[in-house]
Amino acid sequence: MIPARWDSVEQTALCTRITNNAGASVSTIEHLMAALAGCGVHNALIELDGSEVPILDGSAAGFVRAILKTGVIQQDVPVRAIKLLKEVSVQRGDASATLTPAAELSIDFQIDFADIAIGRQIKALNMANGSFVRELCDSRTFCSQADVEAMQASGLALGGDPAVNAVVFDGDKVVSPGGLRYRDEPVRHKMLDALGDLALAGAPILGRYLGLRSGHSLTNELLRELFSDPTAWRYVECSAKEAARLPGAGVHIAEIPAVA
């Protein structure tokens, strides 16, 4: 058993990995965590027979479709959320991640890549009313052709097909067949990752997340900074009206984009 919590995370650059005191670990949990949070699932046991969550097509759409097709069980307990009381921020070089108080969760993200086909992208979303399912869940992970070649030269990523499991960029070109699902698919995927990593807080967050070139490790560092300061947050029980504004409340399988 490995708790899906911020304090179980091992720092990794390319994915989120959780581990326990016995040395068991599971990697690449961020897309599944995003799907759970984005579908309003707050209590789940995930069973795996390997050390990595399946990458599928590089997005969370497959998990979202399965969750919404199966349905969720409403439990007879109030939803507990984490309310931000003051701003918390971390920075590493030109990258930063910040949480500020807000009535509901929103994500603002900015990326800036050397690849001309990616470049600078900015997007902001209020995560209420199923926006994750409609806007983000089918956005795929991405990398450059040079990254693929370097990983394969090191004996990594040999079991996957980058054209199937990710969007591959090479300068001003999109190498993957079929191109992009959205013009700004990279920043949408970064927001998907952020939601999954924030879900490791252990409860829905009521606050605004601002990511500037941030990634998995910086978001986890942000949660560690948050929980190190008991004056920065508190648990609250959500009213029915407040619970209806949490990510995933009331979503339906028909809201999954047709491209997924």
Domain segments of the chain as ranges: 6-255
At residue 259, φ and ψ (nearest 5 deg) are -75, -20
Q: Are 95 and 218 in contact (CB under 8 A)?
A: yes
Tokens encoding 22: 């016995």
Which whole-number Å values give the CA distances from 241 to 79, 99, 200, in the listed order? 11, 23, 24
Q: Tell if the pTM clears 0.85, that is, is over it.
A: yes
Topology of the domain covering 6-255? lpxc deacetylase, domain 1 (3.30.1700)
Tokens encoding 146: 């040079």
Looking at residue 154, its pLDDT comes to 58
> Is residue 207 helix, strand or coil?
strand
Looking at residue 172, its pLDDT comes to 85
Which sequence positions are flagged as catalytic? 216
Residue 98 CA to residue 222 CA, distance in Å, equals 7
Pairing outcome for strands 95-101 and 88-92: antiparallel
> Is residue 206 helix, strand or coil?
strand
Transcribe 60-123 into DSSP letters.
SHHHHHHHHHH--PPPSSPPEEEEE-S-EEEEETTEEEEEEE-SS-EEEEEEE-SSTTT-EEEE
Smallest CA-to-CA distance from 140 within 62, 67, 215 is with 62
pLDDT tens digits in sequence order for the chain, 260 residues long: 999 999 999 977 778 999 999 999 999 999 999 999 999 999 999 999 989 999 899 999 999 999 999 999 989 999 999 999 999 999 999 999 999 999 999 999 999 988 888 999 999 999 998 999 999 999 999 987 777 777 667 555 555 565 678 888 888 888 888 889 999 999 999 999 999 999 999 999 999 999 999 999 999 999 999 999 999 999 999 999 999 999 998 888 888 887 55
Ramachandran class of 3: left when φ > 0, alpha when ψ lies in -120 to 50, beta otherwise: beta
Looking at residue 155, its pLDDT comes to 56
